[in-house]
Amino acid sequence: MDVEQYAIDNKSETKIAQVQDEAWVDPQAERRLLWKMDLHLVPILWVMWTFSNLDRSNIGNAYAGGMKESLKMSSTDYSVALLVFFIGYVVFEIPSNMILVRLRPSIYLPAIMFWWGGVAIALAGCKNTPSLAGVRVILGLAESGFAPGVLYLLSTWYKKKELARRYTLFWLGTPVSGMVGGILAGAIIERMEGVSGLHGWQWLFVIEGIATCVVAVAAVFILPDYPTTTRWLSDEEKELIVRRLSTENLNTTGEHLGHMESLRLAFADWRTYLFLFLYAMATGSMTITYFIPTLVKGLGYTGSQTQYMTAPIYAVGIVIVLIVCFTSDYFGERGFYVVGAGLIGSICFAVIMGVTNRIVQYVFLCFGLACIFSSVPTLLVWASNEISHPREKRAIIQAAMNVAGNLASIYGAFLWPASDAPRYLTGWGCTLAFVFTMAAVAFASRTLFKKHPYPEA
């Protein structure tokens, strides 16, 4: 129904003003549209992101499952292999989102996924640590455009209060990949050892890389583009999406600013630097995920049991992230959730440092990691909500946050040296500092944003 006609039919000047101001939509039609959007967007993006995390983090399972001995790696060699991934990762994030704004996501995102799947398979052929590091650089470069690209794509479909739930459900692929990855790694490494002359850890890379390529091909036929160019939407549904997003300055078309002007707008905004810092703290602390199998091994678990015992850690994270994503959407709040995650995480990591009981350490590791998991997607959605327009500025800031976060992961890769075993006080202490600082800055940022709201378009 036409908005102005609806108002005229109701013969009320007040109604006319209200309808025009609020871009009125039929609530039932909106609910049906949201279900349709969810079914076409969230599942395929979730699967793609899960495989992204499998292909980048299975190096930890491989390292604990025999790669260390096969390639004669030291703990420094392993840290370097982690570090170089992030060097490749940060190079292409911002340019990738600037390119994506002008291309079809249904082609672009699956294409880079197929690329990183092929690179992941190549990891199985590495014969020494220099070759492993070289392939990891290329893997980081290949994966770099996906995460910021997905956040930008979702922000062109959903309103601010709807974005956290969808993006967090998508981002759940991170803990799910950790949980499933540990189980898969245990089975593959144990059962495939020696098959066709390959070690079990080599088969881990091959099997998961091939699966990634298969999903990438399927995604070309499933993943939609932007709302106004998607075939499975009717003209009425396209109009409804544009009308919904126009109330929050989330444009789905137009805003053809130049690349340099968009860059200038993004980095001239003081809000950008707060979000860059916050995200650096969150993802710097998340470097711990690459050492989970090693830390679990240090708690006394051996063999394939090491891989399986990583699963409960991620399972707790999944539950906490779900609670955060639904309640933060319900209350329309982001900042206090980041503050809370940082404070609770600080307590968890302080307890781990202060006790020696391995069961207590394991339990608090579960909840401490869950706090980190919940803060990362909440920060990304918070930034997208706070800096909503122009759309290319929004896309650049989303990519820049990933750059800042992965730069933090570079030094984070060296926080857990084998010489610190079994207490790893340096790693735990730095992680505690990261999450506590994140909580403090998030509280200050929220106060500033309330005092100085972002200008309307």
* SS3 of 14-82: HHHHHHHHHCCCCHHHHHHHHHHHHHHHHHHHHHHHHHHHHHHHHHHHHHHHHHHHHCCCCHHHHHHHH
Residue 441 covered by a domain = yes
Q: How far is CA 445 from CA 33, 152, 229, 306, 448, in A?
A: 34, 22, 37, 40, 5
Provide the residue range defining the domain that includes 420.
25-451
Residue 6 covered by a domain = no
Number of domains in the chain: 1
Residue 19 covered by a domain = no
Residue 7 covered by a domain = no
Cα 434 to chain centroid distance, Å, stands at 18
pLDDT for 421 equals 79
pLDDT for 1 equals 38
Structure tokens at 16: 């006319």
Pairwise CA distance, residues 431 & 54, whole Å:
23
pTM of the model: 0.73
pLDDT for 5 equals 37
Residue 9 covered by a domain = no
pLDDT for 422 equals 79
Residue 269 covered by a domain = yes
- Running along the chain, 457 residues long, what does each successive block of 10 average in pLDDT? 36 38 67 91 93 89 88 88 82 81 90 96 94 94 88 83 77 83 86 91 95 96 88 88 71 55 84 93 86 78 73 89 85 92 96 90 93 91 80 78 77 79 88 96 95 78
Residue 162 covered by a domain = yes
| CATH number of the domain enclosing 414 | 1.20.1250.20
Residue 313 covered by a domain = yes
